Amino acid sequence: MPSPDTMNSPHPVLLGLRKSALIAPGDRVLVAVSGGPDSTALLLALCEEGHRVVAAHYDHALQADSDHAADHVRGLCARLGVEVLVERRDTPLGRGSVQAAARSLRYEFLERARVGAGFDIVAIAHTADDVVEGVVLHLLRGCGLAGLRGMPERRGVFVRPLLSVWRHEVADYLGRLGIKALEDPANSNPVYARVRVRKEILPAFERDRPGIVRRIHGAAARAATLYESVAGVAASTLAEGTTTRSVVAAAPEPVAAELMRQLYARAGGAEPALSRAHLAAMLTLAQPGRGGRGIDLPGGLRLRIVGETMQIVAREARVRPGPRLDVSTCAGCDDVTAAHLRPELELRLGYRKPGLTMRPVGGRGTRKLQDIFVDARVPREDRDTWPLVFAGDSLAFVPGIAVSADLASRRGEPSLHVTVSGIPAKVESLNSLPGVPT
């Protein structure tokens, strides 16, 4: 039997909401409500605390009776006197994970709904259990400091005010209010990794080490505090001016990774979007070495090096007309944009393949095509689409870059005048590139 003091004290759900300090008096709050226990409890708690709220429900249309959840949320909001915004998915899910694609569409809807309602923040009902499950999932996949948080309590306008509240406390809160929430069948489907963590891994941990779930939650909270410190250092570094390779290379890895995340976010990149592979490639690019490289990133963005400055810019559309080979006879002109090849050759267009070599005019010995591209600073992503001119199986001409000394005609003698249109990059003259004599 609970004591009188316990009965009169605020419920842990309300205490957790207040403790988070994420929602201030006067904030206009859009609440994401799926109809499940956690989001229902968050909506009720915000109403009980007197906050101005509007509910938002996104129907993913992944189950035949998904409209039942939408009707349930409408009914709950009608009883509470709360306005509700509902949207049903009518576009195909993106490629990859169904959960990730559905989550992306849901967050896009929530942001549209927030802007349309003119509200300040969006409240999401993740709990302490979600934090622990997230930590374990991140550890299983491999993670850094950011992953050890489980999930951030705030990301832009999205806040999670129940991260210190446990699911059993949510169930108790709804039971006291006599509210019945929906149960999403997906939350019991072991095909999902999170469900396996919830139903199998964490119970096994708790049996072997009682209390470990709460200890993981405590470790996540400490990781979140440390992460905030790292994020502050990164933000200060960005505020000081341009981000150079030397600055990123000299920073401790957690700070350097956070610099890349913040640089990406400032360029308009969505969060979270950068994978560990993306971050590793970005940090590798910061190391000393030859420039002219870049990395394509999610959201149509690209990391590039300009001088020593690291920039994230919109990725250029790579739609180009197909290459065209133009061959005419020539008495040996001075056109430096063309190759002059021996007149008896039969020429064709082709593309890079393993093992191609050439002895370039003006060069020293035979060289791999890969090395010729590197010296000419051709971006890696352009090398496979760079048109090449072959005489039989021999590489005769790398347009704009190099001509085969074995197949070139002598200056002033009759020759084939060879040009190629539609190369990936503009080249003013062969004379401006390495290995071509002036």
Question: What pLDDT digit, counting tens, does each position of 332-343 carry?
Answer: 787 878 899 999
pLDDT at 293: 62
pLDDT at 437: 36
Could you give the 3-state DSSP secondary structure of residue 27? coil
Proportion of the chain above pLDDT 90, given as a percent: 54
Which CATH number applies to 4-212?
3.40.50.620
Which CATH number applies to 243-314?
3.30.465.60
Contacts from 38-42 at CB under 8 Å and sequence distance 24+? 38/125, 38/126, 38/127, 38/162, 38/167, 38/170, 39/125, 40/76, 40/174, 40/179, 40/181, 41/13, 41/125, 41/162, 41/170, 41/173, 41/174, 41/181, 42/17, 42/123, 42/125, 42/161, 42/162
Query: Which sequence spans correspond to the domains of the chain?
Result: 4-212, 243-314, 324-432
Spatial separation of the C-alpha atoms in residues 127 and 102, rounded to whole Å: 20
Does the pLDDT of residue 426 top 60, yes or no?
no
Mean pLDDT of 394-423: 90
Starting at the earlier edge strand, list the strands of the sheet with 52-59: 84-88, 52-59, 28-32, 121-123, 158-159, 154-155
Could you give the 3-state DSSP secondary structure of residue 39? helix
Q: What is the pTM of this model?
A: 0.68
Does the pLDDT of residue 274 top 90, yes or no?
no
Mean pLDDT of 217-232: 94
Does the pLDDT of residue 136 top 60, yes or no?
yes
Could you give the 3-state DSSP secondary structure of residue 327? strand
pLDDT at 300: 85
pLDDT digits (tens, 9 = 90+) for 159-174: 999 999 999 999 999 9
CA distances from 420 to 293, 367, 426 (A): 24, 22, 12
**pLDDT band with cut points at 50, 70 and 90 for residue 428:** very low
Mean pLDDT of 290-312: 77
Mean pLDDT of 57-65: 85
The gap from C-alpha 287 to its chain's centroid, in whole angstroms, comes to 22
pLDDT at 412: 78
Question: Which of 179-183, 220-224, 314-318, 427-431 bottoms out in mean pLDDT, i.e. has the lowest?
Answer: 427-431
Does the pLDDT of residue 100 top 90, yes or no?
no
Tell me the residue length of the chain.
Answer: 438
**pLDDT band with cut points at 50, 70 and 90 for residue 381:** low
Mean pLDDT of 268-277: 79
Question: Which of 11-20, 90-99, 239-248, 405-414 bottoms out in mean pLDDT, i.e. has the lowest?
Answer: 90-99
